Amino acid sequence: MKKKKIEGQILKKIKSGEIQMKPRWKFVVKMWEERALWLVLILAVVLSISGIAYFADKYSPRELVEYGSIGFQVFYEDFPYYWLFGAIIFWIMSVKMWSRLGNNYRKTTTKVFLFGGLLLVVIIALILFLG
């Protein structure tokens, strides 16, 4: 009974012009905006991991071991920590953003982070093995 009363009151307000319905295009734009942001975050993770892989290629830890403590010092001083922190932050943001997209009732936090971890491993593997 109450539900029908509330629906009737809302319909009366819409018909009288007190409340205006949002057009469908606003919802579509919001959906595509969220997906575009998620894609940008994933691309930022890929770029960050690529920067770290490039560093590892240039300053090969295997070659620096031959120089002893000076080699380790060069490695630790020149390591791109900002790229690493950026990759971690962008990955967490992209996983949280992905959890907001689609059918949220099926996505538990554990499943989202497990899938995000799997996605991260696949991205790292592709970057390291393909080049």
How many separate domains does the chain show? 1
Q: Is residue 21 part of a domain?
A: no
Mean of pLDDT values over 20-35: 82
Mean of pLDDT values over 98-127: 75
pLDDT more than 70, % of the chain: 91
Question: pTM of the predicted model, to two decimals?
Answer: 0.62
Mean of pLDDT values over 103-128: 76
Q: Is residue 4 part of a domain?
A: no
> Which position has the higher pLDDT, 109 or 85?
85
pLDDT at 46 over 70: yes
Q: Is residue 125 part of a domain?
A: yes
> Which position has the higher pLDDT, 15 or 104?
15
Q: Is residue 17 part of a domain?
A: no
Residues 6+ apart with CB under 8 A from 112: 95, 98, 99
Q: What are phi and psi of 108, to 5 degrees?
A: -90, 165
Band of pLDDT at residue 127, cut at 50, 70 and 90: confident
Domain that holds residue 50: 28-130
pLDDT at 21 over 70: yes
Q: Is residue 18 part of a domain?
A: no
**Residue 105 confidence (pLDDT):** 63
Q: Is residue 48 part of a domain?
A: yes
How far, in Å, CA of 126 to CA of 49, rounded?
11
pLDDT at 1 over 60: no
